[in-house]
Structure 1
Amino acid sequence: MKNVYKVRHKPTGLFYSPGSNSNLSKNGKVYTTKNTIITLLKGGYTTTLRVNNKLSEEYKSIIENLPKDKFGDILAKETDFELIEFKLT
């Protein structure tokens, strides 16, 4: 059995997927290693996150209370994410 991983954004419960238009979704990306956005953010770095319009409306009450950059994108740091492990059979 092989382990795979997904990265969950804790404040929203959505999963991370790299991309420029929208990088939080209900499905997210499946990683085969633990080398993810969490690894890249170690040391106090932050990243910006975007949510598509449909999810933005659905999660509006959560998203509106999250820190944002000057463009309105969600700001996130390492502690905002958690690695979820799945076993493939």
Structure 2
Amino acid sequence: MTDSTRRSAEDMLERGRDAVERGARDARDAIDEVRGSSSFDDAVRSIGRRIRTLRREQPYVFAAGIAVSAIVLAGLVARAQR
């Protein structure tokens, strides 16, 4: 691997880490907002707005979140079938 290839790979990894950190921060903010919500309907609308914003502004983080959610769900289903 050449130095420029290594640097660009490291840059991509760093951007990915930053994107995941931003996504995690946004998810924590959404959870905090839901906890502070006075009604379930308000909470659902708020989460929907945050998801649409995340999908539009950070598509890679959104895709990673979907993938992680699918893996977790598959693990939960597999565990429940035992």
Question: Normalised by the shorter chain, which TM-score bucket?
Answer: under 0.3
Higher relative contact order (CA 8 A, sep 6+): 1
Length-normalised TM-score, structure 2: 0.26
Judging by fraction of residues, say which structure has more helix: 2
Length-normalised TM-score, structure 1: 0.24
